[in-house]
Amino acid sequence: MKKTIVTIAAASFLMFSPLVTENIAEASTTIVYTNQVSPLQGTYKVSAQAPLRRSATTGAAVIVNAPVGATLTATDQITLNNVHWTKVRFNGHHSWTQTSNLSKVEVAQTSNSSALQNHVAKYKFNTTSPIRRGATTSYASVATVASGTVVTSEYKITINGVEWKRVIANGRSGWVEASKLSTYTAPAAQTSVSNKMTAMSGTFKTLHNTNLRRGATTAYAVITTVPAGATVTATDQITINGETWYRVKYGSHHAWLLSSLVSQVTTQQASAPAANSSKIVDVGLSLLGTPYRFGGTTTAGFDCSGFTQYVYKQAGKSITRSTGTQYAESTPTSNPQPGDLVFFANTYKAGISHVGIYIGNNKMVHSGGSKAEIIDLKSNPYWSKHIHSYRSIK
């Protein structure tokens, strides 16, 4: 076995698992690590007075002295400098003592028990369950692991007909009954999905806030979340386990969503005539001086998106209610025309947060501050700083 030499010159030094945690009191000590911590199951009696220490070295503080004849439960073991140490549980303490201080209490091996075995595999928790310090329910819980968590097993053992596996979950090691686990199979690579795709085309609107994913199952990571009412363009489709998924384009993203979360925009809807741009401007200007009111959608008072929705409706075009959904249903333009929307970011909140109507000559009409008003987008220091983009409603 390869030996690793570690020289410690400090008065106190902390070494972390998987080797062992040690507090070294000597000014300069050379430690020869000949083993790693490994699990150990069994019951032991103290054959010579046994100091129980915080870690596997005589330099570590003594937690308690276990008297001769006391019964201890072993959980782990390690060999350091050819000295064997056992980690034990005694009167609520988890601590280390030299193995030479102990004698094993032999228990008759039953036909429905087995020895500890190496066992490396991937599993998923079927239900939320504790992982324990040892392989019976009498051991204390180390942590509680949520249903669906994927873990890696290290060892397995059968005790009184019950199979247990030692697993690593969220950085913690512990024992869990095998019945709480199922074999984990990683989702198929995207290439296997692509082989079954068929091309399609169409324009769709999201019915709810919808996750766009890297692949066509919920096992794939979410790229972004699309707000309800957003327009997406489908390019491909596939059916997996009875569910149809669409590959769509949204902004700069190409991603997957479940087909049941969208509705198709009909040809009649898609070809509906655009609102007259001059009428949009005329309606907007006719509302100058209308009070600002948060959540307002009538001439008694408007907020920013309530204002734009009302103006567009009066001009013959229905658009969604919120700033975010208006942004999602519009398309960017580098050549804004009167009647287009102007969006602003990071005003009263992070991200897209305000909208107005472009009226030409670097000006807009909007509901903001205390009333509906005209703003010069070039000279106004606040709005020119927060302008995000110009977008058109088709």
Q: Which CATH number belongs to the domain containing residue 210 in this structure?
A: 2.30.30.170
The confidence score (pLDDT) of residue 1 equals 42
Are 343 and 367 in a shared domain?
Answer: yes
Residue 110 lies in a domain: no
Residue 298 lies in a domain: yes
Residue 71 lies in a domain: yes
Are 282 and 254 in a shared domain?
Answer: no
Written as six digits, the tokens of 329 are 């249903």
Please return the burial class of 72, using the count of CB atoms within 10 Å of its CB with bins 0-12, 13-18 and 19+.
buried
Rounded CA-CA distance 159/58 in Å is 33
The confidence score (pLDDT) of residue 106 equals 58
The confidence score (pLDDT) of residue 299 equals 94
The confidence score (pLDDT) of residue 169 equals 82
Residue 111 lies in a domain: no
Are 228 and 150 in a shared domain?
Answer: no
The confidence score (pLDDT) of residue 131 equals 92
Are 89 and 132 in a shared domain?
Answer: no
The confidence score (pLDDT) of residue 275 equals 57
Are 223 and 251 in a shared domain?
Answer: yes
**Residue stretches of the chain with pLDDT short of 70:** 1-35, 106-114, 186-196, 266-275
* End residue of a domain, out of 104, 137, 168: 104
The confidence score (pLDDT) of residue 113 equals 56
* End residue of a domain, out of 47, 79, 104: 104
Tally of domains in the chain: 4
Q: Give the number of other Cβ atoms within 10 Å of residue 265's Cβ.
A: 17
| Range(s) of the domain holding residue 57 | 4-104
* End residue of a domain, out of 183, 210, 232: 183
The confidence score (pLDDT) of residue 10 equals 33
Rounded CA-CA distance 276/283 in Å is 11
Q: What are 110-163's pLDDT values in tens digits?
A: 445 567 787 788 899 999 999 988 888 888 888 999 888 888 888 888 888 889
